Structure 1
Amino acid sequence: GRIKFALRYSRLDRPNSFMIKDTYGNVIFEKSIQKSIKGDKKVCGAWFKISGFYLKYFRQEKLYATITTRKYPNGIVSGTIVPKYMVNSETFSAILTSSKPDGNGGLVLINYTPGSRLLSYVVTLEGVKGLWKKGPYHVAVLRGSRVMYQTAEPLTAMTGTVSGSWKLSKRLQQQLVRGRLSVRVTLLDLPSLIGTIRPRLSCEVFQAVLSGGSTVDHRSSYSSGSAVLHLGEDGSLDYSIKVSGLTDNITRIRLEEASSKYGNQPKVIGNLFKSVNSSQHFKLNEWTNGTYRKMAAEDVFRLLNNQLYLSIATTRNRIRQLRGRLVSFEYDENFMNTAVSVSLLPESDKALGNVAVSWLSLDADCILHFDATVAGEDKRPGSIDVVLGSHTNKERTFILRQSLRKQDVTSSYRHTAGEVTNISDDLLLALDRGQAFVQINSKKSGEAMFRGNVTLSNTCWRYSNDVEDIDYAEEDRTNFRSNDQDNVPVCSFEGHTYPDGSMWLPDVNPECTTCSCVVKFTVII
């Protein structure tokens, strides 16, 4: 079994690690907490290969989460891990902390209903040292010090939770998303608990595969695009977009809703990119990053429920030439840190209007992690092979996964993911040299539907005896030595010292274009 988690902390100075302990205080899982570049106080991760014994503890709420600091290595805050049964309907949440360092705290889960703008909340008070039964309570929503909503009557917590609802005004929609509203819970004879409302705590990644077949009029073309989006703690939407195969300039990249069942054009939410003059161009065939900061509460709800789309308009197709649905994918540490994206273009006329995207990553143990998504008008065969191959040795191909499954009943995507441990060394070398490709075949006919070249830098092939076409420099030209101080093997080459496993470009040696230090040799490629 496995458990994926998202952790948000508040008012903690330099947390060191996140631990999971059993009822006896034994540490059974630990993950270091790295400071986010953006400053988000959020930690994402996964606990793999969990024994059935601890899964039973998890369901019985007998596991405990702990955050440590250097000053408090055994933990500064801790709490019972409770399975979140409301996770699918949660839109916003808030961590409640006390105004005094008394150890009290709580959690607020908020569900937003777009049509009525109704916010339904559940306040969990298990973190109030068992004193929550004293009640009664008052719940208020604040903007700064101004009260925007307050319960008319005091509430009583019979089971450790308090629930209620309030209607959100239109002018507060963006204030809610941007973290400018807070929840305050007033308790009898105890300091108030207060916390900032933020979008749902999650480590999901939203991906859109852009194709002509996903547009309203189902265009057929060889152009394609891929987009990856992250929802920030402040409600901002960070995006990375890559478009290939277009011959016209991009004029707009829009965030929009689904088209109506009556054939009306979809409602445009906002522009991620807009060309204001002929000299402003969106770069093709490379990733372009940016941030969209005008999300409203309704937009966040639709994003979290896979109800938003990205569309691309060009000088020739001013409404939309490419379009794709934003679909959430589970957090995967390998793809967040080291994965490369491969745009797979149609290889046959049958695939025109459709497009595929693949992600590949190699971890420290040389295990290949892959992810493949096919999108477009649903004319694809039911069973598809995802193949990794080499241009230099066409016989060296490897089927990564068969029979792509549909992502959900409302999505036109077909998606698969997994890992492979027995990739041949020739294919690993081809990945490193940029001589490999990813291909999606029709299992019924064996015909190639999509293909894209891939480069995945790695050192896995260097430690094998199976790889051909590698020249080793004579040992008299390369001096290997071991540093006595830290016992780290290094190589000396052309007057420079390099650590084991490093790569560099030679200064004067005309025999090679890339050199690397492998224990006691300098490998010349």
Structure 2
Amino acid sequence: MQCHFGKTIKELGSKWSADLGPPFGVMHCIQCECVPFQKKRRIVAKVQCRNIKHECPKPTCDEPVFIPGKCCKTCLDDHRLLEVAQDIPPQEEDKNMKYFGALLTGRTSLVFKRDDIVNIPSTSKNPVYQIVATGRFTFHKKNLYYSFYLANSLNQNPPRPRTIQFINYKGDLLEEQNLSAMGSVYQNATSKVCGVWRRIPREYKRLLRDETLYVALLWGNNLALSGQIARLKALNTEQFTALLTPSYSDLVEPDSGGTAIISTLASPPTIHISLVFNGVFLPDEVSDVPLTVRLENSEKGHVIFEEVVRVHKPSHTINSEEVKSLISMNDLRMITRGKFSVSISSRHKPDIYFLSGPVVTRTACEIFQTPLSLSNELEGSDAQETTSMLSYSPASGMAWLYVNRDGSITYNVQLNEIQESPVFTLMPSGKGRKILDIQQFTPSNLNNGFATGTLDKLSPKLLEFLYSGELSLSVISTKTSIKGQFVSRPVAGAVDTKLPLLLKRVNNKKNYDLIGMAWLSIDFDCDLYYEVQLSGTGAESRSYQLFLEDTPIIAPNSPVSKRHLEDFNGTFLEGFAQLTPQELLRMDTGISFFEITDLSTGTILLKADMKQLKIPVECLSYTNDNDVSPFVSMSSHRTIDITKCYHEGIFYDEGTQWRHPRDPCKMCHCLRGKEKCDDVVCPPLPCTNKAKISVKECCPTCYDSSNNDLKTSVGCTQAGQFYPNGSVWHPYLPPYGFNLCVVMSCVSDAKSSVIKYSRVQCPPLKCSEKEAVRMEKNSCCKQCPTPEAGYARDQSVIEVPKKKTDEEILQEGGCTYLGRGPYENNTEWSHRVDSIGITPCVKCRCKDGVIMCERKRCIRANCTNSTTQSNADVDDCCSHQCRYRRQSKHNQRRKTWKQKKRGNA
């Protein structure tokens, strides 16, 4: 929930001074605030601005001063600097604000204030809709990432919810998001519901901290489930989850459910279970109630351990208990493979008040990823020797994997510049660590550098290393070796797409070990979200720039649109960019790149093609005038050269000229994004008796006959075109074409070749200058017209002049005016206004392409003579001006007479 103020986004609860732009600038005495207000059940944000000039505190000194950027006068000696219009200082994230959990059952659900939701799903007798859900929430960089497991009484996967809502304890709607009915690749594979609530306002962050924020899942108009988001300590070390549901029976409490947060240790083999539950108490059990917690092998029915716990004060909605026990290494291995289940039941009626569920991997939506680079492999004493061998290797790659519900791992690896089939090895990270537990595998389906597969039997120790961020992947071939250490990333937004981008090195020799990977996505608000991870020697200490680049086609000198996204330091970056419809259209129709450069030098380090990025269809459609996005009018922050010309597979800049690649007798130029080609005009050759003529080029060339070897590599260059020695040509001057009045020649002297200019000498005319004409449009010299043979002039025959075209009229100095014309040079016409018609008193004249309009002026003598003239002889324009003058004089005399009369009185 945010406020839009001009082109900026303001967080709910924030305050700022209004920036009205030029010429006003920032108005420091106008304080604006993004405030919430309730619209039916929904809480929305709006901007409120007020003048705080009259709210300034009274200064405590005799001579207060204005401080730049402040509204009120302040005493220089007053260190408190009381100020009304100031924003709330940013608060540091609380370390205890990271992990939260929720249990969603019929007992924990709120009563909704909506008419379209009847009640919670437990009212249905169908076990498919007796749903229990458990959620995990991670607060990171003002974003709340959420994950859900769902189950019903039949231990089946229930249908995916359609909507998720965040509400307060009153039931007011704070945030609502529609969930995809199909789900992503990750969500379908793990049976999870994943997402993120971005940029949580401070007011709602306070609700989260105070545990007064609720979450609701909706399946339609009459199906909803909600629960309180609470801080749970056991989530810091959670490795497995169990979602506890009641067995289906009419005698069982249908609204009950629970969740188990499970963590293990491999040395010694230990399991810790933290339970959150309800609905396992008899009606008369009000204090010190015994319950049985059991861990057993689901397939063999073997009980691993059973422990009795006591709940001192049972609650109708939420209860929590913890158990801890030593187990065998074999049992620990079976837990990682989804063979166990957890149950909690009443000691008095265990068959009726009973909750159970299988142990699966933890609820959090997460993947583990790493770029694969050379530097990560150069460890140990032989690092210096290996560096020289691998420093110029272009090998790189990336890997990402996730853990399925049954404990198996689905891995994805993309390799670059590794041809043979390598060996993959999972091992603990860190120098000096004893590698007691490793897992090697060779994918059988390595296709174009991509390898995907599943590892079914992962050891508990490696799973512990994975969750703690200490697991590495090494890819070893006969010629090179690359390695990377896995880190956990929440699955939402960009990371919830199918594939990341491999950011490849542009120059392998200068940055032999730098590599990166990026997740990109465009949401339904048409915003681009991205997450970037880099790896390499010294990558943590460098500064980078991130760019978004697109071009219509891969061709020489093609126009490039380049947008600067942001600058960053370190190896991780997460951000978003608001895209305009023009940018989205260029990305959809052209070729886009994701680019990282060095901030200090501007050198391009990494680059990737964004061809796999999918743009929603809604973002490519044009909006109506009454439904315009608040960001449509924003400047795109990107400059693209639309004046280039595309000709024969090459882009040419505006104003450049070139020879036609397939026809050397044509010269072309680029003007306002359009190319135009003209036929080459060859001037006459001034060859001497000792010179010969060569016809290797479009126009013949003079060269010395004493030298039989014609050297075409020596010559002159003019306007980007090469001319051999002895060449003679007319200069090409776009957009007018060839200048036939100038002849240029390339002459060689003792040291080099030079260009000489000479003007064409026109022969004397045998007729007057007025009668002479140019036979061609670009002719240099005029010629006398010659009558056609056999033509006898007959004075009785009227010659009809040829009608000139519009282009000819304009070339001879004609004009166009307000869409009319063209008018020939030296013509005059009456001005015309569309709403009035012709105004005969305003005359316009065209002179050498320039239009001048003026109103007809009448001298005083015309007004004097008009009284004696007849009506037919009086000019309408002059009569109107004369009446105005007479009326003005009459009014002036009347005004003078009244003033004298008042003075005499």
The TM-score normalised by the length of structure 1 is: 0.75
> Which residue, 439, 458, 466 being the options, matches 1:270?
439
Question: Partner residue of 2:331?
Answer: 172
Question: Partner residue of 1:433?
Answer: 590
Deviation at 1:63, TM superposition (A): 3.1
SS state of the match for residue 237, structure 2?
coil
For 2:206 and 2:169, locate their aligned partners in 1 and report how far apart those are by CA, in whole Å: 13
2:492 matched to 1:332?
A: yes
2:400 matched to 1:228?
A: yes
> Which residue, 512, 528, 550 being the options, matches 1:368?
528
* 1:321-371 alpha-carbon deviations (Å, 9 max, x no partner): 011111111222233136651332252534112212223323333322222
For 1:235 and 1:22, locate their aligned partners in 2 and report how far apart those are by CA, in whole Å: 36
Question: Partner residue of 2:255?
Answer: 103
Aligned AA for 2:228? T
2:222 matched to 1:73?
A: yes
| Ranges in structure 2 where 5+ consecutive residues have no aligned partner | 1-141, 552-556, 623-631, 645-905
Aligned AA for 1:106? G
Deviation at 1:170, TM superposition (A): 1.6
Deviation at 1:380, TM superposition (A): 6.2
Question: Partner residue of 2:749?
Answer: none
SS state of the match for residue 172, structure 1?
helix
> Which residue, 71, 83, 91 being the options, matches 2:239?
91
Q: How has the CA–CA distance of structure 1 residues 113 and 281 changed in structure 2, closer, same or farther, with 3 Å as cutoff?
A: closer
Question: Partner residue of 2:151?
Answer: 10
Question: Partner residue of 2:411?
Answer: 239
Correspondence list, 1:405-416, <5 A: 405=570, 414-416=571-573
Q: How has the CA–CA distance of structure 1 residues 235 and 132 changed in structure 2, closer, same or farther, with 3 Å as cutoff?
A: farther
SS state of the match for residue 466, structure 2?
helix
Aligned AA for 2:234? M
Question: Partner residue of 2:362?
Answer: 200
SS state of the match for residue 447, structure 2?
coil
- When structure 1 is superposed on structure 2, of 162-171 and 126-135 the one drifting more is 126-135
> Which residue, 137, 148, 169 being the options, matches 1:23?
169
8 Å CA contact 1:360–1:371 kept in 2: the answer is: yes
8 Å CA contact 2:337–2:457 kept in 1: the answer is: no
For 1:176 and 1:31, locate their aligned partners in 2 and report how far apart those are by CA, in whole Å: 35
Aligned AA for 2:429? A
8 Å CA contact 1:223–1:345 kept in 2: the answer is: no
Question: Partner residue of 1:323?
Answer: 483
RMSD: 3.4
Question: Partner residue of 2:660?
Answer: none
Number of aligned residue pairs: give it: 447
Q: How has the CA–CA distance of structure 1 residues 235 and 139 changed in structure 2, closer, same or farther, with 3 Å as cutoff?
A: same
For 2:303 and 2:465, locate their aligned partners in 1 and report how far apart those are by CA, in whole Å: 28
Q: How has the CA–CA distance of structure 1 residues 423 and 343 changed in structure 2, closer, same or farther, with 3 Å as cutoff?
A: farther
- When structure 1 is superposed on structure 2, of 365-374 and 2-11 the one drifting more is 365-374
Aligned AA for 1:400? L
Deviation at 1:211, TM superposition (A): 0.8
- When structure 1 is superposed on structure 2, of 346-355 and 386-395 the one drifting more is 386-395
For 2:166 and 2:504, locate their aligned partners in 1 and report how far apart those are by CA, in whole Å: 41
Deviation at 1:453, TM superposition (A): 3.3
Q: How has the CA–CA distance of structure 1 residues 233 and 345 changed in structure 2, closer, same or farther, with 3 Å as cutoff?
A: same
SS state of the match for residue 9, structure 1?
strand
Question: Partner residue of 1:418?
Answer: 575
2:458 matched to 1:292?
A: no
2:454 matched to 1:309?
A: no
Q: Which has more radius of gyration?
A: 2
8 Å CA contact 2:242–2:357 kept in 1: the answer is: yes
Q: How has the CA–CA distance of structure 1 residues 260 and 173 changed in structure 2, closer, same or farther, with 3 Å as cutoff?
A: farther
8 Å CA contact 2:194–2:365 kept in 1: the answer is: yes
2:396 matched to 1:396?
A: no
8 Å CA contact 1:429–1:461 kept in 2: the answer is: no
Deviation at 1:374, TM superposition (A): 1.2
8 Å CA contact 2:520–2:530 kept in 1: the answer is: yes
For 1:81 and 1:457, locate their aligned partners in 2 and report how far apart those are by CA, in whole Å: 34
> Which residue, 223, 243, 265 being the options, matches 1:113?
265
SS state of the match for residue 24, structure 1?
coil
Aligned AA for 1:366? C
For 2:572 and 2:621, locate their aligned partners in 1 and report how far apart those are by CA, in whole Å: 32
Deviation at 1:270, TM superposition (A): 2.1
For 1:5 and 1:127, locate their aligned partners in 2 and report how far apart those are by CA, in whole Å: 25
* 1:213-244 alpha-carbon deviations (Å, 9 max, x no partner): 11134643221111121211111211221111
For 1:211 and 1:307, locate their aligned partners in 2 and report how far apart those are by CA, in whole Å: 17
Q: How has the CA–CA distance of structure 1 residues 226 and 333 changed in structure 2, closer, same or farther, with 3 Å as cutoff?
A: same
For 1:261 and 1:39, locate their aligned partners in 2 and report how far apart those are by CA, in whole Å: 37
For 1:438 and 1:334, locate their aligned partners in 2 and report how far apart those are by CA, in whole Å: 14
Deviation at 1:110, TM superposition (A): 1.5
For 1:432 and 1:273, locate their aligned partners in 2 and report how far apart those are by CA, in whole Å: 39
Deviation at 1:42, TM superposition (A): 1.7
8 Å CA contact 1:396–1:427 kept in 2: the answer is: no
2:191 matched to 1:41?
A: yes
8 Å CA contact 1:344–1:358 kept in 2: the answer is: no
2:528 matched to 1:383?
A: no
SS state of the match for residue 233, structure 1?
coil
* 1:445-465 alpha-carbon deviations (Å, 9 max, x no partner): 222222333324547678699
Q: How has the CA–CA distance of structure 1 residues 401 and 87 changed in structure 2, closer, same or farther, with 3 Å as cutoff?
A: farther
SS state of the match for residue 303, structure 1?
helix
For 1:447 and 1:146, locate their aligned partners in 2 and report how far apart those are by CA, in whole Å: 63
* 1:283-313 alpha-carbon deviations (Å, 9 max, x no partner): 234x432211112332222212211111111
For 1:212 and 1:433, locate their aligned partners in 2 and report how far apart those are by CA, in whole Å: 33
Deviation at 1:272, TM superposition (A): 4.3
SS state of the match for residue 208, structure 2?
helix
> Which residue, 178, 184, 187 being the options, matches 2:346?
187
8 Å CA contact 1:126–1:132 kept in 2: the answer is: no
For 1:102 and 1:134, locate their aligned partners in 2 and report how far apart those are by CA, in whole Å: 24
For 1:467 and 1:127, locate their aligned partners in 2 and report how far apart those are by CA, in whole Å: 68
Q: How has the CA–CA distance of structure 1 residues 173 and 134 changed in structure 2, closer, same or farther, with 3 Å as cutoff?
A: same
For 1:399 and 1:173, locate their aligned partners in 2 and report how far apart those are by CA, in whole Å: 51
SS state of the match for residue 438, structure 2?
strand
2:296 matched to 1:142?
A: yes
For 1:201 and 1:426, locate their aligned partners in 2 and report how far apart those are by CA, in whole Å: 38
8 Å CA contact 2:253–2:279 kept in 1: the answer is: no
Q: How has the CA–CA distance of structure 1 residues 33 and 193 changed in structure 2, closer, same or farther, with 3 Å as cutoff?
A: farther
SS state of the match for residue 87, structure 1?
helix
Question: Partner residue of 2:776?
Answer: none
Question: Partner residue of 1:500?
Answer: none
Aligned AA for 1:450? L
Deviation at 1:147, TM superposition (A): 0.8
2:271 matched to 1:125?
A: no
Deviation at 1:133, TM superposition (A): 4.2
8 Å CA contact 2:497–2:519 kept in 1: the answer is: no
Aligned AA for 2:468? N
For 2:502 and 2:302, locate their aligned partners in 1 and report how far apart those are by CA, in whole Å: 50
Question: Partner residue of 2:210?
Answer: 60
Which structure exhibits the higher relative contact order, with contacts defined as CA atoms closer than 8 Å and separated by 6 or more residues? 1
8 Å CA contact 1:347–1:451 kept in 2: the answer is: no
Deviation at 1:15, TM superposition (A): 4.9
Deviation at 1:197, TM superposition (A): 1.2
> Which residue, 70, 82, 95 being the options, matches 2:230?
82
Deviation at 1:259, TM superposition (A): 4.3
8 Å CA contact 1:7–1:43 kept in 2: the answer is: yes
Aligned AA for 1:172? D
Question: Partner residue of 1:473?
Answer: none
* 1:467-503 alpha-carbon deviations (Å, 9 max, x no partner): 9599xxxxxxxxxxxxxxxxxxxxxxxxxxxxxxxxx
